Amino acid sequence: MLDPVLLRKDIQFVIAQLARRGLSFDVERFNQLEASRKEVQVETENLQASRNALAKEIGKLKSQGQDASEIMAKAAAIPDQLKQLEEKLSSIKNELDAWLMTIPNLPHESVPMGKDSDENVEQRRWFPDGGYQSNREPEAFAFEVQDHVSLGEKLGLEFDTAVKLSGSRFAFMRGAVARLHRALAQFMLDTHTSLHGYTECYTPYIVNASTLFGTGQLPKFKEDMFWVTKGGDDVDENGQVVPKEELYLISTSEITLTSTVKDSIVASTDLPIRLTAHSPCFRSEAGSGGRDTRGMIRQHQFDKVEMVQIVKPETSYETLEQMTGHAEKILQLLKLPYRVVLLCTGDMGFGSSKTYDLEVWIPSQNTWREISSVSNCEAFQARRMGARYKNEQGKNEYLHTLNGSGLAVGRALVAVMENYQQADGSIVVPEVLRPYMGGVEVLKA
């Protein structure tokens, strides 16, 4: 959520930064709400001052043995008036907060201007046989490449079975492909915990609405979520109907990992917090417009290993570069060609101030596809969650939160299958995965 204090102090800066994202800020609405808030606060302060003055006068009259009943009657009416003003102020604040919840984060000054992904800025490319080589193109195969769907048909990747069970945009895996999928997730977790200092977590896959408000998925992205309802028909032990509640399947474990500091004041000595988890992710793909209907690139259910760091504000941009490097390390160890792209203002996520995407080479599509997105949300999520720490001066300050895929497991499986394919349709297992595959070096039909 945007900082209300910043809005009051420098609204022109906020307007200019949102304009970089192609958004117009309703200044008139904000000024009206601010004027109403100030009016109620001034009225409240005046009434409180009046209550204090009347209390003194009542005390004085009573000490002199005089009748204070008329003044006491005035004072007796004040608590109800203050309560009404408190409710009015709460209503104004709730309206402001609900509105600010729908406004995205401000972009960092280093984020390039742009309307969409076509205006993202490539930072670097990496190749297994040459390291960083920015002007290089991936080499063509000596044979006609197959996509992961065709390769997987003989190895246990069954989309027809998934359609029978659940419908489109699901996958069913068995045998060697299922084991390779699991090996990728285990390898990613082991790398992040042993090399990068993250603590492995296991999190719920279903969360309540307040958790999603905190991390920014609600209210804006409800249609991208899957949800279930609980209660409404049940009766508790006292015979009362249990209120109906909506619960949501997580679209990423960023939600649960970041929310571990919700409504908390974290000790400065506990920072930075580094968390990682492997979880399924559920997305309705409501806005996908029919893209990537073939294969595993865009699924309703997919697995991801997530990285989250919760840090002091002064270290968050250094941490963003560090986390991007952590995601890159996975691709380097897998020896997969990739590039790093800085997202422009028009392509950034709702809660992000700055985002790097890692895009892996997909031979069958002859293009780079996103496999990781690493973002600094600054205090945007922390403000929504009430997540703070005590700074050097002993004052409570909002934390900065960062998240990144480390990596999307399904897309990593696609990249391994396609980049390691052989002319006969077999797939060489990357060296770092062989210990997780019982020493198997090649997957064959």
Binding residue ranges for L-serine: 252-254, 283, 306, 403, 405
* Amino acid code (one letter) for 119: E
303/408 Cα distance (integer angstroms):
6
Binding residues for ATP: 283-285, 370-373
> Which residues fall within 8 angstroms of residue 170, CB to CB, at 6 or more apart?
159, 162, 163, 299, 300, 301
Burial 97-121 (b: 16+ CB within 10 A, else e): eeebeebbbbbbeebeebeeeeebe
**CA dist., res. 307 & res. 41, Å (int):** 43
Q: Are 359 and 336 in contact (CB under 8 A)?
A: no
If 0-12 CB within 10 Å is exposed, 13-18 middle and 19+ buried, where does residue 440 land? middle
Binding site listing: 252-254, 283-285, 306, 370-373, 403, 405
Distance between CA atoms of residues 313 and 401, nearest Å: 9
Return the HEC string of the chain.
CCCHHHHHHCHHHHHHHHHHCCCCCCHHHHHHHHHHHHHHHHHHHHHHHHHHHHHHHHHHHHHCCCCCHHHHHHHHHHHHHHHHHHHHHHHHHHHHHHHHCCCCCCCCCCCCCCCCHHHCEEEEEEECCCEECCCCCCCCCCCCCCCHHHHHHCCCEEHHHHHHHCCCCCCEECCHHHHHHHHHHHHHHHHHHHCCCCEEECCCCEEEHHHHHHHCCCCCCHHHCEEEEECCCCECCCCCECCCEEEEECCCCHHHHHHHHCCEEECHHHCCEEEEEEEEEECCCCCCCCCCCCCCCCCCEEEEEEEEEEECHHHHHHHHHHHHHHHHHHHHHHCCCEEEEECCCCCCCCCCCEEEEEEEEEHHHCEEEEEEEEEECCCHHHHHHCEEEECCCCCEEECEEEEEEEEEHHHHHHHHHHHCECCCCCEECCHHHHHHHCCCCEECC
